[in-house]
Structure 1
């Protein structure tokens, strides 16, 4: 990984992943970056090979716009959340539907698998997040407390905590490692952002990052609830945040057509990738340290 910060980036327009009949709302990369999943207003989920752009399959079943997609860490499962208030979990191997999860009362805006793929967390316009048991399809925990849409969720590396980001300008961190459904989950409320929270992410060391429409990224100590750094520089809404595998850097993608890379220790921006994606909505580091950013239709790879 980078020793003195990422320096030499090459920008490669990998592929336009087409085929949807309406606007693409979401994209997810598998952990090994071998497959890409997209969700659209056409109520379909499409799966592609990341390196070649080869179309693999289409997943049907939702009766509303697909707002969010996720791939389990072992790439065996795909989850999709929809305006139809449901979450669907599909088997990657044969595209069979494993579960249709019903529990939210409004549109599902975000889904995320736990690191061991045993749990799934969903966030909704109904102001709740629900943690589901993947094998059974049953709800495990219902997380209440936000005053507005739950737009983002993330599990900590060991699956002990889950963070939820909301349009109420707060991030909540919930401890979920107890076994009893009826036992309340303890949590922290992190305040300081002045805009909707659109993305949250944990580092391997349990540092939490949040990206907001106030155009900043904040880094948090979840043991104390204190803000470690406020990273300012974007001139557009921050849509996504992600940590490098070693936890040294955090990348943020914004509506200002930039992806910025920040040093976790001092909170300083060490690299800005400009004009490579039109309103970057997603970003992620590959296991080898390459940074991938995705806009509305084009995926751009930035290599160190």
Structure 2
């Protein structure tokens, strides 16, 4: 865990990104923090300029709600997962669809890029996890083992492992170094409800949020539970580490977002300004802005106050 001292939170200069045609299911910042990506129930993916809030593009193509979206680490691509059983790969600069990945038999609920941006993982209601080659769109591996819907995924900071969370209440860590078709995995057990969200930190810690209203922070290399965060009164919908790993933000299926001290497990702030059910939360790459997405089709920015007076205003 990071031993630094967390800065304080303040609600300042709130922005709303309110032109969605449906609930906001997912959000992601570009690696440079200049663009915000949102996926909506209306079947479209939206690109926004972070600082101004200007809508850059609205991209259709999916024939069902967009459940999840994520930028590639190199910033050149983004992926969207949909109830239409497909994953779409998009070019950021041209705002153009490059690939439509087909293979899932039911709604695709999660996508994640490998750190080198060469592979993409997807999972969904068909209980399967698919590993794709980004450049060709070819499926590389089919990972089978979960007993229920796969709702969340994230690659470790190296390309070696992929974590997936399921409604079977388990997390599986897949070792991708082993040869195909067999891929070994370990199971992390401890939640008493569906695993709804997963997030790796830069140092390799893994956070998981569940329908049991708790968040667990794990050390996957030893399969050990480091800390359990309790305080949500509804199931945990989205989680995000701050870049310095001092904080973890979590959105419950309610009107509030919580911010936790990762070292002590203490809830530092409960932010109640969201207008409707908070579906998603994300930090900017510099950790100074926390964004929450809500079912009322808006997004809200909440800024983080740092100790340095020389930091630029956001």
Same fold per superposition (TM over 0.5)? yes
**How many Å apart are 1:2 and its aligned residue?**
9.1
**How many Å apart are 1:45 and its aligned residue?**
1.7
* Structure 1: distance between partners of 2:213 and 2:266: 15
The CA deviation string for residues 22-43 of structure 1, in whole angstroms up to 9 with x for no partner, is 3333222222221122222332
Structure-2 residue corresponding to 1:181: 180
The CA deviation string for residues 71-100 of structure 1, in whole angstroms up to 9 with x for no partner, is 112221121111111111011111222111
Q: Which one scores higher on RCO, CA 8 angstroms, separation ≥ 6?
A: 2
* Structure 1: distance between partners of 2:194 and 2:107: 17
3-state SS of the aligned residue for 1:223?
A: helix
* Structure 2: distance between partners of 1:210 and 1:181: 27
Q: Which runs of 5+ in 2 are unaligned?
A: 306-314
* Structure 2: distance between partners of 1:6 and 1:236: 27
Question: Which segment is superposed worse, 187-196 or 271-280?
Answer: 271-280
* Structure 2: distance between partners of 1:33 and 1:250: 18
Quick check: 1:275 aligned with 2:276?
no
3-state SS of the aligned residue for 1:14?
A: coil
Structure-1 residue corresponding to 2:7: 6
3-state SS of the aligned residue for 1:16?
A: coil
* Structure 2: distance between partners of 1:6 and 1:255: 26
* Structure 2: distance between partners of 1:88 and 1:293: 24
Pairing of 1:93-242 with structure 2 (within 5 A): 93-178=93-178, 180-182=179-181, 184-242=182-240
Preserved CA contact (<8 Å) 2:281 2:293: no
Preserved CA contact (<8 Å) 1:276 1:300: no
Q: Report the CA distance shift for 1:74/1:145 in structure 2 as closer, same or farther (over 3 A).
A: same
Structure-1 residue corresponding to 2:311: none
Preserved CA contact (<8 Å) 2:4 2:246: no
Q: Report the CA distance shift for 1:215/1:35 in structure 2 as closer, same or farther (over 3 A).
A: same
Q: Report the CA distance shift for 1:53/1:87 in structure 2 as closer, same or farther (over 3 A).
A: same
Preserved CA contact (<8 Å) 2:250 2:257: yes
Q: Report the CA distance shift for 1:67/1:8 in structure 2 as closer, same or farther (over 3 A).
A: closer
**How many Å apart are 1:198 and its aligned residue?**
1.1
* Structure 2: distance between partners of 1:283 and 1:260: 10
Q: Which runs of 5+ in 1 are unaligned?
A: none
Preserved CA contact (<8 Å) 1:253 1:281: yes
**How many Å apart are 1:118 and its aligned residue?**
0.8
The CA deviation string for residues 149-198 of structure 1, in whole angstroms up to 9 with x for no partner, is 111101111222111111111111111134x432x222111111111111
* TM-score, length of structure 1 as denominator length: 0.92
**How many Å apart are 1:291 and its aligned residue?**
4.0
**How many Å apart are 1:135 and its aligned residue?**
0.7
Structure-1 residue corresponding to 2:255: 257
Q: Report the CA distance shift for 1:24/1:9 in structure 2 as closer, same or farther (over 3 A).
A: closer
3-state SS of the aligned residue for 1:58?
A: strand
Residues paired across the two proteins, number: 300
Preserved CA contact (<8 Å) 2:120 2:132: yes
